[in-house]
A and B are shown apart, each in its own frame.
Chain A
Amino acid sequence: MTDIRIGFIPLVDVAPLVALKEIGFAREEGIEVSLHREISWSNIRDKLAVGLYDASHLLAPMALATNLGLAGPPADLVVPYVLNLNGDVVCATTTFLSAVGLPADAPAARIAERIRAGALGRPVTFGVPFFFSTHHFLLRYWLASQGIDPARDVRIEVIPPPLMPQAIANGVIDGMMVGEPWGSVAVDEGTASIFLSATEIWAGAPEKVFGMRRRWAEENPDAVHALLRALYRASSWAEDPGNRVTLSELLAKDAYLGLSAEVIERALSGALTRTPQGLQERIGRFMVFQDGGSSFPWLSQALWFLEQMERWGFVEITAEHRRLVRNTMAPNLYRESLSPLGVAVPSANAKLEGSLAETTPAASATGRLFLGPDRFCDGKIFDPEIAS
């Protein structure tokens, strides 16, 4: 079997891909994978587009933006699998907090109130890791829900995740929304407090997806099925609390994150240290790899991102754009690959987003599927049918 080349960015949510390789799930399915660390998301996208990678760790909206022709070289990507829900944190710098007269453990609502009031005398600057990222759209969603105009009251800057702590230290940004462990790294360095998590903005937000070139997927159907089966088992393994210590040791290796296993374990368990003073808080479902259909590529999630892109003026929604977005997600490929494993696969391709406050049974071929909570911070419900 030839080597399947996969690109990744050093983040905790690369865990299912690391387990795929290191725990041997890929080999058990008769495939060989190699993981290649990258410095920027643009680089991953371009290398995937031109075939230097066969598949990749991708930001959920990134695959959509690529297929919409909004960024990068022409490419036709498919997303048959969601690697994780959530796992991002929103931080404020200690400099910002003291400038607006708030303590290190100030709640999100009070921070929002200061931003809204223009307490800094200039727009507040937030860092996000990429323009077409879940972070960028969730941050805007939360700001708007607090009555803050993201275009007028704040500035949003793109900074690669590993460079975020440095940007804080240099005073380039007042806050950031970033994937773990980079928020916790800043807290440990004493430069920022975590005041909100992605889970609190949208409990069911798809964060990283597994994408591949459509042509490669069509030419290698057996490899794709094997890859998705192995990935499902790897995600389930990564979700098991009993494997957390092993998983954090693996991710800590220089080839992956090159950081302490302790800071990685915090993200895996959702037991975050929120402030430099050591305020602890456990956030339920902070980063989900495999639970309640979490890895299923819902068309409704992709359409939600399209609606947000239009909301902020990055694209217009046309019939063709909707078709491109729906076509990016590949729920049938997920079903074909995983049904033989006896996995409870959803019967529908889309759902109401934001309607579930708790784990709820849903229709599936085997009748054993439970969907996880997916509420938005403002309680709104996104209906993909009405949106069309």
Chain B
Amino acid sequence: MKIVVIDQRSERADLIKEALGEAGFPDVVIVAETDRLLERLAEIDPDAVLIDLEAPSRDMLEQMFEISRQVKRPVAMFVDDSGESSIAAAVEAGVGAYVVNGLAKSRIKPVMELAISRYNTFSRLQTELDAAKAALAERKLIDRAKGILMKMKGVEEEEAYKLLRKTAMNQNRRIAEIAESIVTAAELLQQ
């Protein structure tokens, strides 16, 4: 069974390919989005296509399957009769599937489940990474604000931090927000 994975994020596509290989589906081709997407798919002639739902080329893909419905082989989106809940799970995870009609349901089901779980894992990792990056950016901002306060008010680091924290508490805002206003104000005053 030949599977095409269309994904702009190559890390995620690699993750899926690896998982499919381990699950006994070695014949996986990764395709990035290009102008020649439809031609590439015609060349590869896959049994199933997994696609990132945020890919702009999804509508083009639908047309390809519409045309194949008329002339060549009928194609179904997702798995025929796969049930509302599993379709909902796929859409929520962000993965769509196009499957050639006639392909045994039992064969595509593990593929979909695997894709859904890998997409969820990837988006969780991504969220964690984004949170870590944001935390790091906030720490840098607070450090800069502390430096500005130390220089302007002639206080020690600990005192500067206390001042930030107290202001944040008084104004019912986050320390990072106060730090940001200090840094912005300092930049404006320097110009």
Partners in one complex: yes
Q: Which residues of A contact B (CB under 8 A)?
A: 39-43, 46-47, 49-52, 70-74, 129-131, 157-160, 162-163, 167, 170, 172, 313-314
State the interface size on chain B (CB cutoff 8 A).
22
A159 and B62 CA atoms in complex are apart in Å by: 11
Query: Smallest Cβ distance from A290 to chain B, in angstroms?
Result: 29
Task: Say yes or no: is B119 at the interface (Cβ < 8 Å to chain A).
Answer: no
Nearest to B70 among chain A residues (CB) is A313
List chain A residues, Cβ under 8 A from B59.
Answer: 40-42, 129-131, 158-160
A-B contact pairs, 23 of them (CB 8 A): A39-B56, A40-B58, A41-B59, A42-B61, A43-B53, A46-B53, A46-B87, A49-B91, A50-B91, A51-B88, A52-B91, A71-B62, A71-B66, A71-B77, A129-B59, A130-B63, A131-B62, A158-B62, A158-B63, A159-B59, A170-B35, A172-B35, A314-B70
Dominant secondary structure of chain A at its interface with chain B: loop
* Chain A residue nearest to B66 in the complex (CB): A131
B159 contacts chain A at the CB level, 8 A cutoff: no
Tell me whether B60 is interfacial, beta carbon within 8 Å. yes
A157-B91 in contact given A46-B96, A73-B78 (Cβ < 8 Å): no
**Bound complex: CA A49 to CA B91 (Å):** 10
Indicate if the CB atoms of A42 and B91 lie closer than 8 Å: no
B64-80 interface code vs A (CB 8 A; 1 in, 0 out)? 00100010000001100
Judging by beta carbons under 8 Å apart, are B60 and A159 in contact? yes
Residues from chain B with Cβ under 8 Å of A47 in the complex: 91
**Nearest CB of A to B55, in Å:** 8
Contact B60 A73 (CB under 8 A): no
Contacts of B87 in A (CB 8 A): 46, 49-50, 73-74
Complex interface: chain A residues within 8 A of B55 (CB): 39-40
If the complex has contacts A50-B87, A314-B66, are A43 and B35 also in contact, measured as CB distance less than 8 A? no
CA distance A131 to B35 in the complex (A): 18
Q: Is the Cβ of B84 less than 8 Å from the Cβ of A50? A: yes
**What B residues does A129 contact at CB under 8 A?**
59
A163 to B35, CA, bound (A): 11
- Docked Cα-Cα span, A12 to B9, in Å, equals 30
Q: Which residues of B contact A172 (CB under 8 A)?
A: 35
Contact (Cβ within 8 A) B60 A158: yes
A73-B77, A170-B35 given; A43·B66 CB < 8 A: no
